Amino acid sequence: MEIKALRTEADYLFALREVSALIDLDPAADSAEGERLDVLGTLVQAYEAKHHPIDPPDPIEAIKFRMEQAGMTVKDLVPYIGPLNRVYEVLSYKRSLSLSMIRRLSEGLHIPAEVLIRESVAIAA
C-alpha cells in the first residue's frame, strides 16, 4: 500500500477518485482496502481543511436553517430570543444576538455557540 502526501490539487483529485472507488467496494475495516480507505480519507480531510476551508455559517442563517429543519415558525423562537417583535428584529438583522439569546439558542436548538457568536454579515455591513 503505497500512499503519498497530497501536495497538489492533482494529488487531491486523484485521491478523491480512489476514495470514491473504495467506498463503492465497501471494504471491511480490517482489510487492505479498508486500511487504504481510512488512510486516504484522513489525507483528503487534512488537505481539504488546509486548502478548502469552509467558513461557519452566518448566525441568523443558521437559525433560519434550523427552523426550516425542525418545521418551526417565528413564534417558536420566542422562548429563545424574547418577544415576537424582538424575534423579527433579530431575523431581519436589525438586532444582534445577546449572550443570553446565544446560550438559549445553542442549548435549545443545538446550534453551536461558535456559530452564534460570530457577527452577522448584514449587521457588520
DSSP 30: T
Contact call for residues 74 and 60 (beta carbons, < 8 A) = no
CB neighbour burial string for 39-58, b if at least 16 within 10 angstroms, e if fewer: ebeebbeebeeeeeeeeeeb
- The residue with greater pLDDT, 121 or 70, is 70
Task: Supply the pTM of this predicted model.
Answer: 0.62
Residue 16 is predicted with a pLDDT of: 95
Burial of 12 (0-12, 13-18, 19+ CB in 10 A): middle
Separation of first and last alpha carbons in the chain: 51
- pLDDT tens-place string over residues 66-99: 999 999 999 999 999 999 999 999 999 999 999 9
Classify domain 59-124 at the CATH class level. mainly alpha
Domain ranges of the chain: 9-51, 59-124
Confidence of residue 122 (pLDDT cuts 50, 70, 90): low
Give pLDDT tens digits for 28-65. Answer: 989 999 999 999 999 999 999 999 998 889 999 999 99
Per-residue model confidence (pLDDT) at position 114: 94
Whole-number pLDDT of residue 9: 94
pLDDT of the residue at 1: 62
